[in-house]
Structure 1
Amino acid sequence: MLWKIPRAAEGTAELRDSLSISVIIPARNEERRIAPLLQSLQYQNLRPYEVIVIDDDSSDQTAAVAMSNGAQVIRNPKLDTDWIGKSSACWEGAKAARGEWLLFLDADTRLVREDSLRRMALTYCIAAQESGILSFQPYHTVRHGYEHLSAVFNIVVMTGMNVFSFLGDRIRGAGSFGPCILTRRDHYFEAGGHEAVKDAVMDDLALGERYMQAGYPVQCFGGQGCIDFRMYPEGLRQLTEGWTKSFGTASQSTHPLIMAMIIGWITAGLLTTPLLAACLLISGPIIAVAVAYAAYMLQLFWLARRTGDFRFVYFLFYPVLLMFFCALHFWSLYLARVLRTVRWRGRNIKV
């Protein structure tokens, strides 16, 4: 289900001189996270044409931090009732941008190498033929123990896009990754842009769907070695709120076959613990079950390391990671399907 994750192209191939890329960063209360991204953009050997930060009704010093790091700041007022999430900020940024290509970046991302932007542009030329959407899922930078609770979520996010399994492109993709989206300006507006998906909680999936309906390709890549991010650095509450917002609605975009594979994989992982306990109590084939436990632990760690720099010690107790994922996923489904509302960044979002 997670067979191959392509990465950004390497090489020194020249890009055409006329190329201009506008970087658009929607930001709501990001004063503590946005500076590393803006600083990484300043060191790129392919300089962006412009960097636009959309201050999405922040109550902190997001705008001041952005301006002090050389970005153009556009104030985005409170959302109209028809708009959900960051779509309004992305739309306002796209309308103000003047570049030929638009690069939407979440404020908590960071370009990890001085040639990251060049590699993205080169990949867009080679893999996407300068058409549609090229999106990257940033590599997860982990600093605190509780952040390892995101490990299974990261794996399922990648898997749920439908495009990384052994079936390749024989299964239709679910959309695009939201933290990093590169597209041509004319294709963006022809597909309707974020205005067309203003009522979608998962605007990235919905935007990718709009592109595919318009006949444009959507390419998804892994960001390791090119772009990374910190996920929910403010604590367990933010982590819980963030994943709750995402999974209640995103799961319906996953292909049934891929979903069955995910369910089977998680179920098998959860079964190793009661089997191990049963063997200890009734003198069963303890060695065989212990080997199965260890094998699953190593496999889960290997998969997680393809999505972030997780540390091995936390995977000794991997059933806790799986149970946390299941509990939060069911809670997310309850909020999305029963209460019809989720919360993120101080906003109640109707779904």
Structure 2
Amino acid sequence: MTALEIMNLAFGFVAVMIGVLMFWSLPVPVSSSSPLTGLPFLSIIIPARNEEGRISPLLQSLQEQHFRQFEILVVDDDSSDNTAAIAESYGAKVLKNAGAGKSSACWHAAEQAKGSWLLFLDADTKFISVEGLSNLLHFYQEKGAKGITALQPFHTVERLYEHISVVFNIIVVVGMNLFTIWGSRFKTAGSFGPCILCNRDDYFLAGGHKKIEGAIMDDLALGEAFLEQDLPVRCLGGKGIMSLRMYPEGIGSLIEGWCKSFAIGSKSTHPMIMLMVILWISGGFTAAGALISSIIEWNPAAILFSGILYCLYMIQTAWFASRVGNFKWGVFPFYPILFSFFIGIYLYSFIRVNIFHSVNWKGRKIKV
């Protein structure tokens, strides 16, 4: 093998190790034997815009929870479908919001909420265990019931195109700065968005969604608002607790959704974590390039070592993916395609945000 080939392989193996340090663990709320009677009344707030096809599983899962001391406030954000009627059929109280966006909807509901604790849920989430809600609440209580505890739900995929979200799901978690081998050494980028639990007093002290109205990445901005008040922000994985299915409408919705958030969200990632992400992704392309080159040149030694490196990347990517979603292992031999899609959408998002200063989401053109 040439010196250049050896250097490329060495870089690839180092990048695999960097990946391990980058995504060391993703804790989840553990089961608790504490009595349900020790928990306060909860207000569950669900902002919803044209969610008639996705909100039913969430509302059904809430009906099945062992903990039932809660009210459900669904904020109909100017829907043109049957979202409100479906919510009412499950016993939720429906509040109207005149199309002013998610942050406005959440604030509107929080002002009317009766609970001591507030749980903000995206309409496309659902609890996958009857103990899921109580486990989350007990975790919050055991941590002093202060600040935010947020979950990133386990991503459920059903169709082949949905697998191209896998690298995004991994990087969204890694980019929170909390899941490296160094734990909480780096300041959190903010909060996960689909599931946010806080107490009422802290929410209004931090200014709540009113303070961050207009922010594209409302979850990161809300977490920052809590941190400004020296309130803790804890982020966890949702495996075994809560799931969501992202962008079932098709690949167009998937591209639009990731474009909306990624270039902006990456600005909150610590530079060290961002460097590790760049090196890990670069190592993946290096491994693929080395294998292709060695096969073209038919260099048995290079084929052996580059093949080992490629398999390591394939297994590592699948391992990381298993923490964040039910992605099928059969797609990971083609991981360079997944990496390439991530790079393409990131660049597209960067151009939309920094050149055109606008993104599209759910029929709205949002200025950024």
Alignment TM-score, normalising by the size of structure 1: 0.97
Q: Could you say what secondary structure the match of 1:59 adopts?
A: coil
2:51 to 26, 30, 33: 30
2:252 to 233, 237, 256: 237
2:137 to 121, 124, 129: 121
**1:146-183 Cα shifts (integer Å, max 9, x gaps):** 01001000000000000011111111000100000000
Letter in 2 for 1:210: A
Q: For residues 155 and 173 of structure 2, what CA distance do their matches in structure 1 show?
A: 12
Quote the residue 1:82 is aligned against.
Answer: none
1:51 to 72, 75, 78: 72
1:311 to 322, 328, 334: 328
User: How is 1:150-165 mapped onto 2 (pairs within 5 angstroms)?
Assistant: 150-165=165-180
Q: Could you say what secondary structure the match of 2:75 adopts?
A: strand
1:280 Cα shift?
1.4
Q: Could you say what secondary structure the match of 1:103 adopts?
A: strand
Letter in 1 for 2:124: D
1:288 to 289, 297, 305: 305
User: How is 1:182-331 mapped onto 2 (pairs within 5 angstroms)?
Assistant: 182-284=197-299, 285-331=302-348
1:18 Cα shift?
6.2
Q: Which runs of 4+ in 1 moved over 6 A?
A: none
User: How is 1:81-96 mapped onto 2 (pairs within 5 angstroms)?
Assistant: 85-96=101-112
What are the ranges of 5 or more consecutive residues in structure 1 without an aligned counterpart? 80-84
**1:258-305 Cα shifts (integer Å, max 9, x gaps):** 000000000110122221121112223111111111110010000001
Letter in 2 for 1:70: G
**1:119-142 Cα shifts (integer Å, max 9, x gaps):** 01101012x310000000000011
Q: CA 1:348–1:153 in 2, change beyond 3 Å: closer, same or farther? A: same
Question: In 2, are the aligned partners of 1:130 and 1:184 still within 8 Å (CA)?
Answer: yes
The structure whose residues are more often helix, as a share, is 2
Question: In 2, are the aligned partners of 1:40 and 1:110 still within 8 Å (CA)?
Answer: yes
User: How is 1:104-183 mapped onto 2 (pairs within 5 angstroms)?
Assistant: 104-126=120-142, 128-183=143-198
Q: Could you say what secondary structure the match of 1:54 adopts?
A: strand
1:17 Cα shift?
4.3
Question: In 1, are the aligned partners of 2:36 and 2:67 still within 8 Å (CA)?
Answer: no
Q: For residues 69 and 262 of structure 2, what CA distance do their matches in structure 1 show?
A: 33
User: How is 1:67-78 mapped onto 2 (pairs within 5 angstroms)?
Assistant: 67-78=88-99
**% identical aligned pairs:** 48
Larger radius of gyration: 2
Letter in 1 for 2:71: E
1:78 Cα shift?
2.5
**1:72-121 Cα shifts (integer Å, max 9, x gaps):** 10011022xxxxx4111111111111100000000000011111111011
Letter in 2 for 1:275: A
**1:180-221 Cα shifts (integer Å, max 9, x gaps):** 000001100010000100021000000000100011000000
Question: In 2, are the aligned partners of 1:37 and 1:107 still within 8 Å (CA)?
Answer: yes
Letter in 1 for 2:87: A
Q: Could you say what secondary structure the match of 1:204 adopts?
A: helix
Q: For residues 269 and 18 of structure 1, what CA distance do their matches in structure 2 show?
A: 47
1:103 to 113, 119, 128: 119
Q: CA 1:312–1:77 in 2, change beyond 3 Å: closer, same or farther? A: same
Q: Could you say what secondary structure the match of 1:310 adopts?
A: coil
Q: Could you say what secondary structure the match of 2:324 adopts?
A: coil
Q: For residues 147 and 10 of structure 1, what CA distance do their matches in structure 2 show?
A: 30
Q: Could you say what secondary structure the match of 2:120 adopts?
A: strand
Q: For residues 363 and 126 of structure 2, what CA distance do their matches in structure 1 show?
A: 24
What is the number of residues matched between the two proteins?
345
Q: Is 1:337 aligned to 2:358, yes or no?
A: no
Letter in 1 for 2:149: L
1:39 to 60, 69, 73: 60
Question: In 1, are the aligned partners of 2:40 and 2:69 still within 8 Å (CA)?
Answer: no
Q: For residues 215 and 41 of structure 2, what CA distance do their matches in structure 1 show?
A: 29
What are the ranges of 5 or more consecutive residues in structure 2 without an aligned counterpart? 1-21
1:15 Cα shift?
4.5
1:9 Cα shift?
2.3
Letter in 2 for 1:95: E
1:10 to 9, 15, 31: 31
Q: Could you say what secondary structure the match of 2:347 adopts?
A: helix
